Amino acid sequence: MSTIEHESVQVADIHEVDNFTASSRLLPAELCPISDVTVPAQGLGAVIVGLGRAGLGLHVPCLEKIGREGGGVSPYGAVVGLVDSVEAGTRRALHRLEYDYGYDPARVSRATCLADLKVDRDHTVVHICTPADDHAATLREATDAGFRRIIVEKPCAANAAEVDEMQRIADRTGASIGVINPYLYSRSIASCKDKIQQVGRQPHYLEFEMSKPRTSPTLAGRSRPESVIDVELPHQIATALYLTDSPRYRVLRAEVRHMHYREVDTDPCQVVRNMGVGVIVLELDECVAVLVSYLDALTRTRQLKLRFPNTEHIEAFLPVSGEDHTSVVVEYSGRNTDGSTEQRRVAKLPDDMLTRCLFDMYSRFVTGSPQVSDLAFNRKVVDVMDKAKTLAWIRR
Ligand SMILES: NC(=O)c1ccc[n+]([C@@H]2O[C@H](COP(=O)([O-])OP(=O)(O)OC[C@H]3O[C@@H](n4cnc5c(N)ncnc54)[C@H](O)[C@@H]3O)[C@@H](O)[C@H]2O)c1
């Protein structure tokens, strides 16, 4: 833990950055512009494969928000297809589309495999929201069925060899593939990136904690993660690589602990191997990054700190729920005359990063632009995960 929490700070004014129109909230200057190209009249259709927490709980609401707020230039049209290996999953999802979003069920194709879907392959984006060990196989199934625009949930795949296989599929078929990395689209992460540019050098220390209570989904086996390293740490690794833009990375240390759980003291303790706490220490050129994730925490924390070789540092408090999307960024520079840390700027930012991420991905599919979070970037993320799993004795 850093010492900053114990230091007295001079509190600056909070600036609420709320003067965005609905569409500029989704499409700021740095994201892919779509206004000067021909957007398909209906926008691109979406096929969701894997209708669990990510597919039905996260992607569908964000897409519908894009449809509502994107104004006349929305690159997204509507959900046109639902696929889940469990038939009850597609039935539940269709019910949700009908009752929550007013869909006509007759206009949505349902199937237990992509090949059986009755949708227009040329104007459709496939969202692969199945567990990570299934992503490469589902990508092959999608391209074999004729789809060429594909979004893959994080982590990109179960290991780097599978990412290589996905790259071969993309090269052979010409499919355009983007991997979900919402933190690359966070406004507070963008503030940290701006700070690095302003200081003119990398931070020498980066600390990123993402913790939450994830006991019930873990006991229920949701999304089948191999370890704590597969849940929040892919976001943290991607953010550290993106911020430092470092061509070289080295995993200095990686450790995991089991998750222990019992409802009441008299119950036997349940142990879930390698799913409690994860720590990865990375060397990224001049920067040491310490990434921490507790999945048996009692509260949610998403906090990033960057320290620079001069006395400056910046902290980002990222959104902790799917309901409220606000980040707070605090910048510090030097010391006050009484020795306390001088707090220079506090900014409150609207930060609906998954919606911005999906909006940008669809815009790039429409314009034929390369994806920001492509397979090459995500191969590095998965490679760090592989090396960390070996160091932490998850794989022998
Ligand atoms: N971006 C995020 O913040 C975020 C959040 C949660 C999960 N995820 C990621 O999303 C992916 C899925 O996680 P989840 O929590 O939604 O899992 P989940 O267990 O809630 O849902 C997975 C769904 O996929 C279906 N499925 C499994 N194999 C399939 C196949 N071959 N074809 C079709 N359907 C299949 C299952 O029946 C289930 O309905 C994982 O990669 C996970 O890491 C990302």
Rounded Cα gap, residues 387 and 371, in angstroms: 26
Spell out which residues line ligand 1, taking CB within 6 angstroms.
49-55, 58, 83-86, 89, 129-132, 134, 138, 153-154, 180, 222-223
Rounded Cα gap, residues 234 and 208, in angstroms: 12
For the CA of 83, the nearest atom of ligand 1: 33
Per-residue tokens: 151: 């979004």
Q: Can you give the pLDDT at residue 72?
A: 66
- Band of the pLDDT at 24, cuts 50, 70, 90? very low
Would residue 205 count as lying in a domain? yes
Residues above pLDDT 70, as percent of the chain: 89
Q: Are residues 153 and 27 in the same domain?
A: yes
Q: Atom 36 in ligand 1: which residue has the minimum CA distance?
A: 50
Which residues of 245-286 form beta strands (DSSP E)? 250-261, 270-284
Answer yes or no: is pLDDT of 312 > 50: yes
Q: Are residues 234 and 308 in the same domain?
A: yes
Q: Are residues 130 and 219 in the same domain?
A: no
Would residue 396 count as lying in a domain? no
Helix axes 233-244, 187-199, angle to 10 degrees: 30
Instruction: Tell me which of 92, 129, 356 to substitute to probe ligand 1's pocket, judged by most ligand atoms within 8 Å of the beta carbon.
Output: 129
Q: Can you give the pLDDT at residue 298?
A: 93
Name the one residue in this structure whose structure tokens are 């740490």.
233
- Band of the pLDDT at 233, cuts 50, 70, 90? very high
Answer yes or no: is pLDDT of 73 > 80: no
Per-residue tokens: 305: 């700190």
Answer yes or no: is pLDDT of 17 > 70: no
Q: Atom 5 in ligand 1: which residue has the minimum CA distance?
A: 54
More confident site: 187 or 322: 187
Q: Are residues 187 and 289 in the same domain?
A: yes
Structurally, the chain folds into a number of domains equal to 2
Range of the domain at 216: 4-12+183-353+381-391
Would residue 308 count as lying in a domain? yes
Would residue 140 count as lying in a domain? yes
Q: Are residues 175 and 141 in the same domain?
A: yes
Q: Atom 20 in ligand 1: which residue has the minimum CA distance?
A: 52
Name the one residue in this structure whose structure tokens are 């022998």.
396
- The most distant pair of C-alpha atoms in the chain lies apart, rounded to whole Å, by 70
Q: Can you give the pLDDT at residue 20?
A: 37
Q: Are residues 66 and 175 in the same domain?
A: yes
CATH code, domain carrying 100: 3.40.50.720
Q: Can you give the pLDDT at residue 190?
A: 96
Q: Are 250 and 293 in contact (CB under 8 A)?
A: no
Answer yes or no: is pLDDT of 147 > 80: yes
Residues 6+ apart with CB under 8 A from 142: 49, 114, 126, 128, 150, 175
Helix axes 233-244, 375-391, angle to 10 degrees: 120
Q: Can you give the pLDDT at residue 259?
A: 96
Would residue 78 count as lying in a domain? yes
Mean pLDDT of 131-151: 98
Q: Ligand 1 centre from 30 Cα, in Å?
A: 30
Would residue 32 count as lying in a domain? yes
Tell me: the pLDDT tens digits for 382-392? Answer: 999 999 999 99
- Band of the pLDDT at 57, cuts 50, 70, 90? very high
| Three-state DSSP state, 360 | helix
Mean pLDDT of 326-332: 95
Peptide bond into 370 cis (omega under 30): no
For the CA of 230, the nearest atom of ligand 1: 43
Mean pLDDT of 258-281: 93
CATH code, domain carrying 193: 3.30.360.10
- Band of the pLDDT at 3, cuts 50, 70, 90? very low
If we measure between CA atoms, which residue out of 160, 166, 297 comes closest to residue 234? Answer: 160
Answer yes or no: is pLDDT of 1 > 60: no
For the CA of 86, the nearest atom of ligand 1: 37
Q: Could you please report the per-residue DSSP string of 57-74?
A: IIIHHHHHHHHHHSGGG-
Residues 6+ apart with CB under 8 A from 294: 209, 211, 212, 276, 277
More confident site: 14 or 37: 37
Q: What is the mean pLDDT of the chain?
A: 90
Mean pLDDT of 113-141: 98
Q: Are residues 57 and 176 in the same domain?
A: yes
Q: Ligand 1 centre from 124 Cα, in Å?
A: 20
Q: Are residues 168 and 262 in the same domain?
A: no
Would residue 342 count as lying in a domain? yes
Answer yes or no: is pLDDT of 18 > 60: no
Q: Can you give the pLDDT at residue 15?
A: 45
Answer yes or no: is pLDDT of 235 > 50: yes
Mean pLDDT of 116-145: 98
Answer yes or no: is pLDDT of 168 > 60: yes
- Band of the pLDDT at 12, cuts 50, 70, 90? very low
Q: Are residues 254 and 346 in the same domain?
A: yes
Q: Can you give the pLDDT at residue 263?
A: 84
For the CA of 53, the nearest atom of ligand 1: 16
Q: Ligand 1 centre from 131 Cα, in Å?
A: 4
Would residue 86 count as lying in a domain? yes
